[in-house]
Amino acid sequence: MNLALFDFDGTITTRETFRSFIEFAVPPRRRALGTALLAPMVLGYRLGLVSPSLMRQCAVRVAFRGVREADAFALGEAFAREVIPGVLRAQALERIQWHREQGDRIVVVSGALDVYLSHWCREHGLELLCSQLESSDGRLTGRYRGEQCVNGEKSRRVRAAYDLASYPVVYAYGDTKEDHDLLGIAHRRYFQWNELT
C-alpha cells in the first residue's frame, strides 16, 4: 500500500472553492458588509502585498463569526452536494480511482474548510487533513482551530498523522506554492499535473 496526498483547490477542482463557499453560505447583507470592510485587504492581496493565508483568515472572521456551527456544516453539506460536482477535474477523479484500484491510502490535504470538505471526502471515501473552523458553545468564533492547512502546515500534519517510512511510495499532487512543502515529502511529486523529476 502506497500513500497518495492530494491538494484540493486547483488540483482536484478546476478552481478555488473558498470564495465560492462564502458566496454560497453567507447571506447577501453580511457579504456586502464584508466586501466593504475587506476592500483594502482585497486590494493589497491583488497587489501581492497581502498573503492568501491572511486574506482567508480575515474573510473567515467577517463571514462566519457568530454563525451556528450546525448551520455552517449544513450549508457545507449542501455546497458539497450542489456546487463541488460542477468544478471537479476529471483527470483528478481518474487518478484517485487509479490509486483506489492499487489499494493505496488516499488523503486530501487542503487549506479548504472542513465545513464542506468533510462532507465531500466522506462521500468519496477519502481521508482528510484540512483547515478547521473554531467553535465555542456551538457557534463559530471567526477563527481557525489551529493553523491553516497551507504551506509547511500541510507536511507537518501529514507527518503527525502518518508514518511516511511505512509506505513504499508516497505520491503528492499540488498546484500552487502553498503545496511545495507537501510535494517535498513525497517520492513522486506532481505539480499542476506534471510529474517533477
Residues 162-173: pLDDT tens digits?
A: 999 999 999 999
- Counting beta carbons within 10 angstroms of the beta carbon of residue 196, is it exposed (0 to 12), middle (13 to 18) or buried (19 or more)? exposed
Q: Mean of the pLDDT values across residues 117-145?
A: 97
Sign of the four-CA dihedral 11, 20, 56, 63: negative
**Residues 168-193 pLDDT 10s:** 999 999 999 999 999 999 999 999 99
Q: What domains does the chain contain, in order, with CATH numbers?
A: 3-196 (3.40.50.1000)
